[in-house]
């Protein structure tokens, strides 16, 4: 019966550039309708970072001391790390939404449409960018009355870089969900195992310079380290080498994530 499963010939003919862009737009709109219909989930997701800023920030300043922040205030140094943390937690867990669609059968119905398989991954990954930018701007604005110096263009550029990173990480999360669709526990085991080491070794919570030499050496191989440094430089109103390295790390993450994601989607639908 038509519409009950994936069409084997749906992606045999590769779409042209304009058709691919249209397919990506349709998938992006579909994915964005979900949070727009439930805006409370976006508002609720802001509570955790605000709690970190309100409770952990003052303790951080007392425990580490001002020199560790490169002359910046605790809030100016800590806020960019919290924004990166939002991206890390949010995009790394997006595969759980796909797992739900796989269990309910809605993903199979999408595969029955003439949408190109590549657009399914690219459109979903691009969806991760919009909420990141909105949440980051809101948190920055909320912190202005508490002493955060807001540099609009620099912050916006930082959020664009963060969005590029989120696209790649979101695509990798979706890929992991497809690979582990019959064993959901694998998704959460891999996600949790990788999440916290990446976060700690990037210096999000504490200055990595305060750690032992082996930890500082390990942080050099963590792409998140360069992203965090770039965000701190931009949120401080400057543009330099850290910004370029962060942009490069985000671009490589997006390229690898989309390449792996598109390949995984094709393997699981043919």
DSSP states of the chain as a string?
-TTSS--TTTTTSPP-HHHHHHHHHHHHHHHHHHHHH-HHHHHHHTHHHHHIIIIIHHHHHHHH-GGGGTT--HHHHHHHHHHHHHHHHHHHTTHHHHHHHHHHTHHHHHHTSS--HHHHHHHHHHHTHHHHHHHHHHHHHHHGGGTPPP-HHHHHHHHHHHHHHHHHHHHHHHHHHHHTTT-HHHHHHHHHHHHHHHHHHTTSSS-GGGS-HHHHHHHTT-HHHHHHHHHHHHHTT--SHHHHHHHHHHHHHHHHHHHHHHHHHHHTT-
Mean pLDDT across 181-193: 83
Helix axes 74-92, 57-64, angle to 10 degrees: 120
Per-residue tokens: 91:
């995009």
**pLDDT 10s digits, 34-81:** 767 766 666 666 777 777 777 776 666 655 555 555 556 777 888 898
Most confident range, picked from 26-35, 75-84, 227-236, 258-267: 227-236
- Give the least confident one: 6-20, 67-81, 103-117, 148-162: 6-20
pLDDT of residue 52: 74
Domain spans of the chain, in order of start: 17-42+74-267
Angle between helical axes of 184-201 and 95-104 (0-180°, round to 10): 170
Instruction: Report residue 127 as tokens.
Output: 């969806």
Among the ranges 80-94, 98-112, 115-129, which has the highest mean pLDDT value? 80-94
State how far the Cα of 132 lies from the Cα of 86, in Å rounded to an integer: 8
Cβ-count burial of 145 within 10 angstroms (0-12 exposed, 13-18 middle, 19+ buried)? exposed
- pLDDT recorded at residue 106: 75
Prediction pTM value: 0.80
Residue with structure tokens 């398989």? 117
Find out whether 38 and 31 touch, Cβ atoms under 8 Å.
no
Both tokens assigned to 120: 């399914």
Whether residue 92 contacts residue 165, with contact meaning beta carbons closer than 8 Å, is answered with no
């Amino acid at each position: 019966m038509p519409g009950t499963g994936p069409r084997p010939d749906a992606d045999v003919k590769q779409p042209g550039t304009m058709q691919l862009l249209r397919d990506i737009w349709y998938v992006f709109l579909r994915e964005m309708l979900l949070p727009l219909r439930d805006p409370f989930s976006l508002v609720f997701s802001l509570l955790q970072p605000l709690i970190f800023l309100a409770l952990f920030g003052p303790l951080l300043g007392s425990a580490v001391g001002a020199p560790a922040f490169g002359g910046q205030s605790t809030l100016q140094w800590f806020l960019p790390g919290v924004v990166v943390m939002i991206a890390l937690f949010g995009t790394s867990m997006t595969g759980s939404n796909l797992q739900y669609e796989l269990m309910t059968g809605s993903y199979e119905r999408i595969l029955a449409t003439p949408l190109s398989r590549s657009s399914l991954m690219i459109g979903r990954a691009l969806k991760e960018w919009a909420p990141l930018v909105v949440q980051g701007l809101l948190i920055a604005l909320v912190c202005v009355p508490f002493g955060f110096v807001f540099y609009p263009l620099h912050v916006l550029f930082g959020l664009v870089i963060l969005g590029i990173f989120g696209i790649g990480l979101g695509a990798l999360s979706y890929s992991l969900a497809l690979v582990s669709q019959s064993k959901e526990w694998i998704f959460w085991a891999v996600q949790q195992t990788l999440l916290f080491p990446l976060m700690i070794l990037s210096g999000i919570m504490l200055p990595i310079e305060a750690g032992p030499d082996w930890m500082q050496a390990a942080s050099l191989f963590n792409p998140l380290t360069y992203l965090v440094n770039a965000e701190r430089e931009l949120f401080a109103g400057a543009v330099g080498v850290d910004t370029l390295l962060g942009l490069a790390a985000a671009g490589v993450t997006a390229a690898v994530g989309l390449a792996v994601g598109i390949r995984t989607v094709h393997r699981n639908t043919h």
